[in-house]
Structure 1
Amino acid sequence: MLKTRTGTRPARRRTMLAALSLAGACSLVIASAATAPAAGAAAAPGGHCANRARLHVPGAEHQQAACLEELTTAGTVASGHTDPADFAGLTPKDLPAPTGVPGIQIDGYFPDTSTTNTNHGWNHDAQFVIRLPDRWNGGLVVAGTPANREQYANDRAIADWVLSRGYAYAATDKGNTGLGFYRDGRRPGDAIAEWNERVTQLTRAAKAVVAQRYHRPPARTLATGLSNGGYLVRWQLENHPELYDGGVDWEGALWRTDGPNLLTFLPPAMRHYPAFAAGGPGAEDARKAMHEAGYPAGSEFLWPYHHKVYWDLTQRIYREEIDPGFDGDTEAGTPYCAPGTPACDADYDYASRPDSVHRAVDRIALTGRIGKPLITLHGTLDVLLPMAEDSDVYDRMVRRAGRGELMRYYRIEDGTHVDSLADTFPDKLRPIVPCHRSAFEAMEKWLDGTARPPADHTVRRPSGADATTLLTSCPLD
């Protein structure tokens, strides 16, 4: 049984948290053309929404099915079958929503005792959404959410597009949500460990529902996600490759027992950025210290926003999940504390923390031992999960594990962690969403055996490309 018990850690003084947070086999395994989804999408048996009442999500405690004329956000925003707050800020404002995807949507939840997800008035975690288009291409896409968001967080960035291509789609809230996600579980690391369990649980259930709806199981199942969702893709392909044919990882978070991980590269940013921002004789030394910590040269224009919104909050809430004893009875530390303040996260030194802290990370750590094909994307100007401290490292892990033939890694020039920032800095940033779509198509061809993806490389920003081109095009070759 999945653990999901809350309120079992020692009581701590609660702090006010404002702003958004973060958001095998050794040989190449390729699906044959006979098992690949059919080209295009075929009408589902029985017509529009047939057998809706007979669909049952295995293991669900509650479910409700709706027959919708539009499964994409072009319709679900108005019909109340998504939550725009859940995907706010993740995509460029002008990203179009495709239309013309009627079908069945199933919302529900699996048994759980935590209550951070308030969608539908259920106040119940382990919520999921499954979408079954009337015209199905034979495939299933499963996604875990970025940051600590709920099950609709990928609707604009991922779900709209894959649904328009005929895929069935399933997503989970990971079993706990919000800035206080770390309150879930009996011991440090439990909340994040549950994320992995919930994706596995949903994948198995969604496969069964697909078979009920279309009278045959999915010919192909792909995992994808961004940020924490990308971490989930990596973990699933390492630990449950039998459930998937491949995955596309969009800037996944790296958890590694000996580092690097969030708790090794965020504290240096918290320590050195204030001196850089203050100017004066110490500013250049602070800039160099930031670069040494992994924050790339040329990304300085992004540092003020990330200082204000991401670095401090992300460090404190994830450190609270992994190492709640660092700040005693205080919950999630002291916001924006100066180095030298007692129990200040700016001074946090993961390497020197007790073995119990490292064991907590070990429970959720990645190994690089993927068992199915993986394509990873990472922006060169990501300053929440710096590329040098994250995907560069994971790429080496995969190759050291002898699984290099299963992976392709593309560095997206001028991409950053949150695509909406491309609206703020159009002359300096490009959105990664079209690159994700190109990577997804490359994965399809890889699995079909029709084309091998290009070798690992940096995908250059096209010289002189306008905003429309950058939003809709990202050739990987």
Structure 2
Amino acid sequence: MRLSPRSRSGSRPHRVPTVLAVAALVLTPLPAVATAAAERPGAHCAHRTELRVPGAEYQQAACLADLTTAGTVGTGHTDPADWAGLTAKDLTAPSGVPGVQIDGYFPDTSTTNTNHGWRHDSQFVIRLPDRWNGGLVVAGTPGNREQYANDRAIADSVLSRGYAYAATDKGNTGLAFHRDGTAPGDAVAEWNDRLTQLTRAARTTVARRYHRPPSRTLVTGMSNGGYLVRWQLENHPELYDGGVDWEGTLWRSDGPTLLDFLPRALRHYPVYAAGGEGAPQAREALHAAGFPPGSEFLWPYHHQVYWDLTQRIYREELDPGFDGATEAGTPYCATGTPACDADYDYSARPEEVGRAVARIALTGRIGKPLITLHGTLDVLLPISQDSDVYARMVREAGRGGLHRYYRIEGGTHTDALVDLFPDRLRPLAPCYRTAFTALERWLGKGHRPPASRTVPLPAGADTTASANDCSLDGRDGTGRR
């Protein structure tokens, strides 16, 4: 498979491309989205073309009968492929939120995002409900997905509560996102810049639409989007009132990061899966790497879909010199193979690799209230190597009073896996919604959320019982603590 090089202001040297067939189950490129608008009468519709997004190179506005996925799937103003696999099937789907949707893009020279046939990155979506509550929610996307990735998990809920909503594709997308930029770390650094850019533009657009600025601006997201929440509240707290971080990715130059624990998973899992004399030791090595006891049933799926791909493409972004002219390593290479990611040792890499990571690193110095959620059975970003560490960083930075951290027992990285293991997992989406409400009360009425804690798995939990219910106060869903 030949992949065309992508660049924001140039390109890295061409390397031998790799076939990433398994990962296409999760991160497949999107088809073009239809642009036909579902018009409805109303005063705001007559003026929708006057809603110019500051800095946008191109935009198109549509008046829609429903801004939630219940309506936008039919009108072509979302893309279900972009949010596939992120939510459980029983998650409640709100509907009936009329308003204006603006799709467009900011100036950029990379072309990984093919939505609408534009072949242009830095695409965004802004949704402006008729019945506005005065607030704005902004989000970056998980993984390497495009601007509609949060529509089902986040946008539907906040729109139904009256918030305006804006999301960005982060400036580069897809499995070859690391080709964007000229230096290691450029592509990820752009994610932060693009969310800052969108926040400023969306705040102005909201003020133009409703004739007053938003009274509250909240930043939120999952996985890579959660990383962006952390980074924004550390570096641009003046733009936000608070945020909810749903299992954000941790980057810090002295670790731990995924470049520490994923190579260990790739090295030890094949030995564990093969059985035999070495299997018990391999299992213990995986536990020591951060993959918790009791998560073994999730390891085969993550080895097949996530671990290998994630290690190779993020290592390529931050340390392209490791495999020389090869692009993003060799899929599923055996340990001992030259330049094999299973043998990657971040601590032994040259200083410039650490400097690349430092460009995107977090500090814990948040400047506004933040609620973090993370599942205890996350085996893509193991909780002990990620949010446990970030919570400690926040405390050590003297910002613990601004942070609440909820470890969700039985939660894993993507809620769709709950449908496969309803007797072992619980979805995080209802906990996210509860956390969002807690943040509103914290900011609006000064009601502090429950203390940071591990939230127990409800007794007899299954998909039906826990799909839309989650208490953060330590109760198990039956009223018992």
- Taking structure 2 as the reference length, the TM-score comes to 0.93
Match of 2:314 among 307, 312, 318: 318
Note the aligned Cα RMSD (angstroms): 1.3
- Answer yes or no: is 1:278 the counterpart of 2:274: yes
**Letter paired with 2:8:** R
Match of 2:30 in 1: none
**Letter paired with 2:407:** R
Partner Cα distance (2:194, 2:105) in 1: 11
**Letter paired with 1:67:** C
Match of 2:90 among 94, 102, 106: 94
Partner Cα distance (2:236, 2:351) in 1: 28
Q: Give the drift of 1:293.
A: 0.4
Q: Give the drift of 1:7.
A: 5.0
Match of 1:385 among 376, 381, 387: 381
- Answer yes or no: is 1:174 the counterpart of 2:170: yes
Q: What is the SS of the residue equivalent to 2:322?
A: helix
Q: Give the drift of 1:8.
A: 1.9
Q: Which has the higher contact order (CA 8 A, sep 6+)?
A: 1
Partner Cα distance (2:450, 2:390) in 1: 19
Match of 1:17 among 15, 20, 31: 20
Partner Cα distance (1:445, 1:467) in 2: 28
Match of 1:63 in 2: 59
Q: Give the drift of 1:366.
A: 0.2
**Letter paired with 2:373:** L
Partner Cα distance (1:15, 1:385) in 2: 24
Superimposed CA distance per residue, residues 160-210 of structure 1 (whole angstroms, 9 cap, x where no aligned partner): 000000000000000000000000001000000000000000000000000
Partners of 1:87 and 1:154 within 8 A in 2: yes
Match of 2:292 in 1: 296
Q: What pairs with 1:460-471 in structure 2 (closer than 5 Å)?
A: 460-471=456-467
Partner Cα distance (1:202, 1:223) in 2: 11
Match of 1:5 in 2: 8
- Answer yes or no: is 1:435 the counterpart of 2:438: no
Match of 1:258 among 254, 257, 264: 254
Match of 2:410 among 410, 414, 422: 414
Q: What is the SS of the residue equivalent to 1:223?
A: strand
**Letter paired with 2:14:** A
Match of 1:226 in 2: 222
- Answer yes or no: is 1:351 the counterpart of 2:347: yes
Q: Give the drift of 1:450.
A: 4.1
Superimposed CA distance per residue, residues 317-351 of structure 1 (whole angstroms, 9 cap, x where no aligned partner): 00000000000000000000011000000000000
Partner Cα distance (2:143, 2:461) in 1: 30
Q: Which runs of 5+ in 1 are unaligned?
A: 24-45
Partner Cα distance (2:426, 2:272) in 1: 26
- Taking structure 1 as the reference length, the TM-score comes to 0.93
Match of 2:449 in 1: 453
Q: What is the SS of the residue equivalent to 1:19?
A: coil
Match of 1:376 in 2: 372
**Letter paired with 2:399:** R
Partner Cα distance (1:256, 1:12) in 2: 27
Partner Cα distance (1:360, 1:223) in 2: 25
Q: What pairs with 1:135-284 in structure 2 (closer than 5 Å)?
A: 135-284=131-280
Q: What is the SS of the residue equivalent to 2:92?
A: coil
Partner Cα distance (1:450, 1:354) in 2: 48
**Letter paired with 1:186:** T
Partner Cα distance (2:22, 2:395) in 1: 37
**Letter paired with 2:358:** D
Partners of 2:246 and 2:432 within 8 A in 1: yes
**Letter paired with 1:248:** V
Q: Give the drift of 1:20.
A: 3.2
Partner Cα distance (1:248, 1:442) in 2: 10
Partner Cα distance (1:47, 1:135) in 2: 13
Q: Give the drift of 1:6.
A: 5.6
Partner Cα distance (1:7, 1:61) in 2: 20
Partner Cα distance (1:120, 1:128) in 2: 12
Q: What is the SS of the residue equivalent to 1:289?
A: helix
Match of 1:330 in 2: 326
Partners of 1:251 and 1:417 within 8 A in 2: yes
**Letter paired with 2:338:** P
Q: Give the drift of 1:446.
A: 0.4
Q: What is the SS of the residue equivalent to 2:87?
A: coil
Match of 1:112 among 105, 108, 115: 108
Percent of aligned pairs with the same amino acid = 76
**Letter paired with 2:56:** A
Q: Give the drift of 1:18.
A: 2.1
Partner Cα distance (1:337, 1:90) in 2: 28
Partners of 2:423 and 2:462 within 8 A in 1: no
Superimposed CA distance per residue, residues 73-131 of structure 1 (whole angstroms, 9 cap, x where no aligned partner): 00000100001110011111222321110000000000000000000000000000000
- Answer yes or no: is 1:365 the counterpart of 2:361: yes
Partner Cα distance (1:263, 1:108) in 2: 34
Partners of 1:4 and 1:112 within 8 A in 2: no
Partner Cα distance (1:169, 1:396) in 2: 31
Q: Give the length in aligned residue pairs.
A: 453
- Answer yes or no: is 1:396 the counterpart of 2:392: yes
Superimposed CA distance per residue, residues 218-271 of structure 1 (whole angstroms, 9 cap, x where no aligned partner): 000000000000000000000000000000000000001000011011000000
Q: What pairs with 1:17-56 in structure 2 (closer than 5 Å)?
A: 17-20=20-23, 47-49=43-45, 51-56=47-52
Partner Cα distance (2:349, 2:460) in 1: 49
